[in-house]
Every structure is written in C-alpha cells, then in structure tokens.
Amino acid sequence: MTEVDAIVAGAGLWGCAAARILAEKGRAVLVLERRPHVGGNVRCDTDPETGIELHAYGSHIFHTHIDRVWDFVRRFAEFNGYQHKVLARHAGKTYFLPLGLALVNQFYGLDMAPSELPAFIAAEAAKGFAGGRAPANFEEQAISSIGKPLYDAFIREYTRKQWGTDPCNLGADIVKRLPVRASYDINYFPDYRQGIPLAGYNSLFDRMLDHPKITVECNVDWAARRSEFPHGVPVFYSGPVDELFGYKFGPLPWRSLRFEQERMPLADFQGTSVVNYVDADVPYTRIHEFKHYHPENAAVMASRQTIVCREYPRAWKPGDEPYYPVDTAESRELLALYQAEAANVPNLVLGGRLGEYKYYDMDRSVDRAMEATSRF
C-alpha cells in the first residue's frame, strides 16, 4: 500500500466493520492486529476430527433488531437461523432461561397463565425492595425487577462468579441485559434475526476485509509502531483504552476468562449449546457444547463425539486478555480520565468493547462502527 488514509488498530468485529466501511468510501485502510489472526474474540477453530466449529473465546451468537446492521453483515455471510436456548443448573435441577413462565412456574411449583405473571413478579419484587427511590446498584435493580427468591437462586452467585465482586458494587445498568418475559418463549434473545454464519465466523471476517483498499498485517502492535505513520491519519483503535496510555492513571478493572475444552465420546453431552451453572459451589459459570450451533450440518450432528468447553471467570491483571469491563462508580471515574486523555489526541477514534469500555453485543459493535466512521 503506497498510501494510508486510515489506520484500524485491532481486527475484531468493530475494527473489521470500520475498515470495510472506510474502504467503501474510497479510503486506503491499513488494519493492524497484534494477534496472529483477525476476528478478535469471535475467532473460531474447526476440529479436524468432527468438523465442529469451536468458538475459541466462548460462545458468540449474532442477533439483532437493527436493520442496517443485519443488512451489512448479510453481505458477507449467510446465517443458519440458529435460535439460542440457554439452560440453568440450580440446586440439582435444570431450568429454562430466560426468566419467564417456564422457569417461574417450575421454581415456585405454580401453573400461572401469562396474564398472571407480571402481577406475581411485581408482588415478589415489592417484598424484596421497598420503593421510594431508584435502585442504586445491580442487586437492588435485580431484586426490584424479579424479587429476592429468583435473584438469590439464579442471579446473585452467578454474578459474583462472573464479575468477581459483590453485586452491590456493580452498576444497575447491567441488569437491563437480563431478559424477562411473561410467556413460554424460551428463545434467549428477543431478536428474530439471529444465527451463526453457515461458513463459520472466520469466513465473515475474511470476506469483510477482502477489499482492494484494505491491507491487513497481523502480529503487529500499533502502539509500538505509531511513530511510523504520518500525523493527521485517523486511527480507529479498539484495544484497551487504559493500555493505550500506558495505564498512566492505573488499570481499569477488567474481568478475564479461562477456557477448558474436553472431547467426549458422546453424541450429545447436555442437549443444548449453553448451560449456566448459577450456584456458588461450581467454579465455572457455564458449559458450551459447540456442535449445537450448526444443527443444519448433518455430519457434525451425527458424530459420535462432542466437544465441550467450561468457562471460568478470573481476575485480570496487565498482560492478561481483557474480556469484560467492570462497571462501578470507581471505574467510571477512571474511564473519564482516559477519555479526556484520548480527546487530546487528534484523529483518534476509540471503539468496541475494549476501546469504549462498554459491554456491547456484536450487533451493537457493528452499529457503533457505523457511527464512528460516519464523519470520515
């Protein structure tokens, strides 16, 4: 590439979408990725024995209600229409998530109709959280939404494991991701447009970056090479914002993950893609069984082998892979310092879950990439 009109640092979903949009505007884009591959945490591997697509960094299901995002990603991949189902194991029993009629009736031993559930949940919530003020944290928001018995059983200890802190220390906004519905609909996401790319996630990224105006270099850390590029070239950065500035104000609190895969001589281990383990005495938060993501693949489904992956949340320290931003009052104050620092850097655009320190779903990352590139 003889010219560079824009640099994209980080080839995750946000970075790949941004690169493609900029290239289609006629910009010469250089994508720099410090891993040996593109795709970020959505990267997958294919097991050579079974053909199972293994989500290397935990399960990723694309789902959206945003028209322009769906139209964009379908230019690069055909989706299989997979509808995500999640189960929860609590006290030796298996429940259907999300929190809806199936779970609530089973948990309480009732047989409520859809019209009865809202009043029942409201009464349970009123018992656990007195009104008069807005919920101040995750725990209060959850109890005010679903009541204390459901919170204690399915949310409290899972959240403590996931985030490594007392739920009272977390922001109330995180609870808004918790789906609750007064029906027997056990689809985890309410978006009817969802699925997994038929040709696999890796093909989605490869096709997104397949443009004559895009050059990709892997095993390259932009921060180490930033002095090589002329001033004034816009940089779209999706790495950790605190790392970008050398942790000068101290590291932001992140959560990391550890994955433990196991091959089993079974056609089916758990009957669904994801089972959450919500109790404190189980060290992992969930088990993924990847073959269920491609029910259209007869050979994969017929295999007498399966591969599962246990997911263990763990504390993060500099040098570890950051996965989840931890939303607390203290982290918001620290983030504001880094955002102010970034605002002083001309033509620097922060994006994605790491760059913005926001817990984005995949579709929202694409949407944010569209917003970030709109003025260039």
Which residues are annotated as catalytic? 177, 181, 255, 286, 311, 359, 361
Alpha-carbon distance of 160 to 175, in angstroms, equals 13
Q: How far is CA 87 from CA 188, 270, 309, in A?
A: 9, 9, 15
Beta strands in 14-75 (DSSP E): 29-33, 44-46, 53-55, 62-64
Return the closest-CA partner of residue 97 out of 270, 257, 274: 274
Give the number of other Cβ atoms within 10 Å of residue 219's Cβ: 10
Whether omega before 98 lies within 30 degrees of 0, making that bond cis, reads yes
Q: At what angle do helices 117-128 and 138-146 cross, to 10 degrees?
A: 140
The token duo for 208 is 């997104």
Are 218 and 228 in contact by the 8 Å Cβ rule? The answer is no
Residues 6+ apart with CB under 8 A from 370: 17, 21, 68, 69, 72
List the beta bridge partners of residue 86. 97, 274
The token duo for 244 is 């970008």
Neighbour-count burial for 160-192, b at 16+ CB within 10 Å, e otherwise: bbbbbbebebbbbebbeebebebeeebbbbebe
Give the number of other Cβ atoms within 10 Å of residue 236's Cβ: 29
Alpha-carbon distance of 145 to 164, in angstroms, equals 22
Alpha-carbon distance of 259 to 289, in angstroms, equals 12
Alpha-carbon distance of 193 to 64, in angstroms, equals 6
Please, what sign has the CA dihedral across residues 113, 116, 121, 123?
A: negative
